Structure 1
Amino acid sequence: MAIPNDRMLIDGELVAAGRGRTFDNINPATEEAVGAVPDADAADVERAIGAARRAFDGTDWSTNVELRRRCLVQLRDALRANVETLRSLLVAETGCPVSLTPGIQLEQPISYIDHYIDLLERYEFERTLPTKTIMGMPTDRIIRREAAGVVAAITPWNYPFYLNICKVSAALAAGCTVILKPAPDTPWSALALGAIAAEHTDIPPGVLNVVTTSDNNVAQLLATHEDVDAVTLTGSTGTGRKVMAAAADTVKRVTLELGGKSAALLLDDAPLEAIVPGLAGGVCFHAGQGCTQLTRLLVPRPRLDEALALAVAAMKNVSWGDPTDPTNIMGPVVNAAQRDKVLSYYESAARDGRVVLGGKPTDRFERGYFVEPTLITDVDPKAAVAQEEIFGPALVVLPYDDDADGVRIADSTIFGLSTAVFSADQDRAMAMARRFRTGTVSVNGGQWFDVESPFGGYKQSGLGREWGTEGLEDFLEVKTIAFLAAAG
């Protein structure tokens, strides 16, 4: 089934950019253009914002819970019906291995819409407090949660379809209207979502808008415009700082899911042979382009060589290459700039420490933005490769001296997104988990990634939470209404 992927969605209509401008969508595995997409200018973005404002102010979308629920059901069902077309679009524009699309890249987020569908059946948008005499007045109070308004949703290129669904489904469930602006590297995932919503759901015109642009200055309008009430962004910490600053003049609500430099801490009683191979292979999934991937491995100093040997063996066995080959778990990084950035980190690792495996440009393929799985050690915990988000298939192995030292190193970055801890003693591992300054912690392989679990970070990994009840409430305002209690 064909899905239009060359038109933006503005005010219920699938449209080209106002001036007819386009930019190429590049396949990172082949470096070839796979299509042209609309290149919105400021006037296009203004039209989308105006449509979202009118839809919020002039329709019952924000108060009609049953309509919102019905539209989310329609959207989920239509996405499922088009999943094979979506799969081919996604692999072509992201370079993600097709083997990852049954999970987080595609099919899993479609099923995650059920979370908000179900939540709308039971969530209390209004509750009452007990009667109380306040300043001599017998008073009743109602606590209402109301839609925050017009939401600008800005998404990155690493897991674009998942993040589009994550933000759009939460904001729509809350009763907000949305302008979705994807990364220019992965526009199809958003344009296809807009087209499916327009053609297969009862979402009113203006409630969901999708704009694509190659111009960051145009995109910045979403963070500064007075008719946008809230901004939700997933991206780098640097981008998050800029969006937060831009939103400050109009005091917008911001939800930021930003970078990470997540650590896996293996305590001295942890069975390395059962744990290290999975962690070493895990940093290579989707070429390491994930904010929660455990890119620092902390091991007891006497066991460093053992951990390195296990990691080398695992990374040598990683299957990587053509993302359309279902046996591969790793494809290219998204573009030439990202490839060059990763390679620059590999060069700094060779200067600051020791590259045990990989670390060089690859001549394995004639074309494509491929980099090698790379293992790094003998660097100071404060070195760039141990502090900064590489966003490539690189694992940094760091020794530590005791539990306190392990926690100190794990928490020593500006990030606080995720941590993992492993121990043969579950109680000991749980005690350690409570010490980390991160938004999520995995204990002995426990999985926190689920729609019922709120996700987000401490420190410069972001503000707010996604999924869980908290993910809905990040798009809701709180209003208190007080009135005199009835006599008697």
Structure 2
Amino acid sequence: MTIPTTQAVGDGYLFIDGKFQPADSQETVQDINPATEQPICEVAWAGTSDLDRAVQAARRAFDMGPWPSMPAKERGRLLLRIADGIETAGEELALLETLDVGKPITFTRGFDVRAAAEIFRYYAGMVEQLEGAARPAGARSLQYTRREPLGVVGAITPFNFPLNLAVNKIAPALAAGNTIVHKPAEQTPLTALALARVMAEAGLPEGVHNVVTGGGATVGAALVEHPGIDKISFTGSTATGKRLIAAAAGTLKKVTVELGGKGANIVFGDADIEPAVQAAFQAGFFNTGQFCMSGSRLLVHRSVHDQVVDALTGVLGAIPVGDPLDESTVLGPLAHRQQLDKVVEYVGIGRAEGATVAFGGERGHDGPGYFHQPTLFTGAHPQMRIAQEEIFGPVVTVLPFDTDEEAVEIANGTPYGLAAGLHTRDVRRAHTVAARLQAGIVWVNTWAAFENSTSFGGYKSSGYGRELGPEGIEEYLQYKTVYVNVD
């Protein structure tokens, strides 16, 4: 295997069939640091011929290579070595994620890298649990089921959590015995390439994992339509997901999609206000609001509305916004210019709709970088665009309510259903309301708490399929029945 140094990872390379290599066209693009607007490095800009090479490599590795037939124990040990390698390269991976996405370095160290290693360990532990079952049959016959890998998986991941959301797909797909072609977001490809190096160094056979960097409209679309791909796992916007599902239908691929969200975070009148406000900040401004499970709608009982708004405004005023390499920074820039422009546009839409900017509302500062102030809207109603459409930035809209019934109606009143939350001291209310919320994950008196053993995914226009937990690996398996006549 040809594995360049960390400094060369982004230097115009794809990772195909166990080797870092340039695109056929030799074309590259600049990868931009969102905090400085300066180039980090050159990244290979793949075309469809490069994608074909990656799919062929993954196909060979699945059809003729050792990975699908490798003993489960050995496959699990290799996944554990990958987890160890992620931790060993942790500082490199954290730095690349911070430079590429603009996340604060304390966050990429404390969450992204740690979670990536833990997810590989979790699925390494599941490899030996993929048993089938014997089923009742006649006296002279035997029936049993096998759980087998799907084949070649096309993984398409977004710009907001490049490392973590890639591992959410790669680890269970590998544990199940599949091979992979990964197309990371064109704006944030660096940790995908570094992870490929870590996995190769751990001993992953050639062709099992391939990374093709390039445009979604070309490489991404070709991956979805490619006849050599058996399954697509996509995380991204609802609009793109709908087009992807239609395109994949031509080859009858299995598809799972985690799409957009417009999460409702409900604060009832009996909530403990201080932790509810801290959770509201986490829900709305975690990763500068670039979080599909963001609680971007803050529903507050009218009796505590002003108290919550005042407290949250105080929190926002004290939050350090700035250089993501500064360990005191809590909010960094948006990941790329188009996302900043989208946030600016939606803040203008909110003002035009008649909502009030209670905090923020402007670009972060006059210097370089894609910064935007954390922004809080009040005086809004549930049908405003800022309360219906995914903004994907540091913008939260506060919506008052008077009754539990009204809160549930507002919470469920968007096309999305990815995440929701509620804050109350009443245990009965907590369970009753959680059961009625149309969302794949519901947090009670917290937000953004995850465990590898529990899954998440969408209702309604937020997609279908699940990631993490035992449900996550099922998305990469198929069942076969074997009937044996012993006469």
Query: If the length of structure 1 is used for normalisation, what is the TM-score?
Result: 0.95
Match of 1:148 in 2: 150
Q: Does 1:375 align with 2:381?
A: no
Q: How does 1:102-251 map to 2 (within 5 A)?
A: 102-121=109-128, 123-129=129-135, 131-133=136-138, 139-198=141-200, 200-214=201-215, 216-251=217-252
- Change in Cα spacing, 1:92 to 1:244, as seen in structure 2 (3 Å) is same
Aligned mates of 1:397, 1:280 — CA distance in 2: 12
After TM superposition, give the deviation of residue 176 of structure 1 in Å.
0.5
Match of 2:80 in 1: 73
After TM superposition, give the deviation of residue 138 of structure 1 in Å.
6.0
After TM superposition, give the deviation of residue 241 of structure 1 in Å.
0.9
SS, match of residue 112 in structure 1: helix
Match of 2:46 in 1: 40
What is the RMSD of the two structures over their aligned residues, measured on CA atoms? 1.7
Match of 2:95 in 1: 88
Aligned mates of 1:239, 1:70 — CA distance in 2: 36
Aligned mates of 1:301, 1:26 — CA distance in 2: 44
Q: How does 1:69-468 map to 2 (within 5 A)?
A: 69-121=76-128, 123-129=129-135, 131-133=136-138, 139-198=141-200, 200-214=201-215, 216-280=217-281, 282-352=283-353, 353-362=355-364, 364-445=365-446, 448-468=449-469
Match of 1:19 in 2: 25
SS, match of residue 23 in structure 2: coil
- Change in Cα spacing, 1:177 to 1:29, as seen in structure 2 (3 Å) is same
After TM superposition, give the deviation of residue 139 of structure 1 in Å.
4.6
Q: Is the 8 A contact 1:281 1:314 kept in 2?
A: no
After TM superposition, give the deviation of residue 66 of structure 1 in Å.
3.0
Greater mean deviation of Cα atoms: 368-377 or 310-319: 310-319
Greater mean deviation of Cα atoms: 275-284 or 73-82: 275-284
Aligned mates of 2:420, 2:240 — CA distance in 1: 23
Q: Does 1:49 align with 2:40?
A: no
- Change in Cα spacing, 1:215 to 1:159, as seen in structure 2 (3 Å) is closer
After TM superposition, give the deviation of residue 481 of structure 1 in Å.
1.7
Tell me which amino acid in the other structure corresponds to 1:398: L
After TM superposition, give the deviation of residue 281 of structure 1 in Å.
5.1
Tell me which amino acid in the other structure corresponds to 2:464: L
Q: Is the 8 A contact 2:14 2:213 kept in 1?
A: yes
After TM superposition, give the deviation of residue 351 of structure 1 in Å.
1.4
Structure 1 residue ranges without an equivalent (≥5): none
Aligned mates of 1:447, 1:430 — CA distance in 2: 18
After TM superposition, give the deviation of residue 3 of structure 1 in Å.
5.4
Q: Is the 8 A contact 1:125 1:146 kept in 2?
A: no
Tell me which amino acid in the other structure corresponds to 1:368: G
Aligned mates of 2:161, 2:348 — CA distance in 1: 27
Aligned mates of 2:341, 2:159 — CA distance in 1: 17
Q: Is the 8 A contact 1:284 1:318 kept in 2?
A: no
Q: Is the 8 A contact 2:283 2:447 kept in 1?
A: no
SS, match of residue 213 in structure 2: coil
After TM superposition, give the deviation of residue 102 of structure 1 in Å.
2.8
Q: Is the 8 A contact 1:157 1:185 kept in 2?
A: yes
Aligned mates of 1:459, 1:138 — CA distance in 2: 47
SS, match of residue 329 in structure 1: coil
Structure 2 residue ranges without an equivalent (≥5): none
What per-residue deviation string (whole Å, max 9, x for no partner) do you get for residues 377-400 of structure 1? 212201111111111111111011
Aligned mates of 1:164, 1:4 — CA distance in 2: 21
Greater mean deviation of Cα atoms: 211-220 or 90-99: 211-220
After TM superposition, give the deviation of residue 105 of structure 1 in Å.
2.2
The percent identity for this pair of structures is 38
Tell me which amino acid in the other structure corresponds to 1:195: R
SS, match of residue 25 in structure 2: coil
SS, match of residue 370 in structure 1: coil
Aligned mates of 1:40, 1:299 — CA distance in 2: 48
Aligned mates of 1:454, 1:320 — CA distance in 2: 32
After TM superposition, give the deviation of residue 329 of structure 1 in Å.
1.2
Q: Is the 8 A contact 2:27 2:44 kept in 1?
A: yes
Aligned mates of 2:458, 2:19 — CA distance in 1: 37
Q: Is the 8 A contact 1:4 1:192 kept in 2?
A: no
After TM superposition, give the deviation of residue 448 of structure 1 in Å.
4.7
SS, match of residue 251 in structure 2: coil
- Change in Cα spacing, 1:265 to 1:192, as seen in structure 2 (3 Å) is same
Q: Is the 8 A contact 1:17 1:41 kept in 2?
A: yes
Greater mean deviation of Cα atoms: 260-269 or 146-155: 260-269
SS, match of residue 453 in structure 1: coil
Greater mean deviation of Cα atoms: 76-85 or 100-109: 100-109
Aligned mates of 1:451, 1:473 — CA distance in 2: 14
- Change in Cα spacing, 1:417 to 1:320, as seen in structure 2 (3 Å) is same
SS, match of residue 382 in structure 1: coil
Aligned mates of 2:130, 2:282 — CA distance in 1: 43
Q: Is the 8 A contact 1:4 1:191 kept in 2?
A: no
After TM superposition, give the deviation of residue 328 of structure 1 in Å.
1.1
Aligned mates of 2:233, 2:278 — CA distance in 1: 35
Match of 1:2 in 2: 6
- Change in Cα spacing, 1:446 to 1:27, as seen in structure 2 (3 Å) is closer
After TM superposition, give the deviation of residue 324 of structure 1 in Å.
0.5
Aligned mates of 2:32, 2:443 — CA distance in 1: 36
Tell me which amino acid in the other structure corresponds to 2:103: C
Tell me which amino acid in the other structure corresponds to 2:120: I
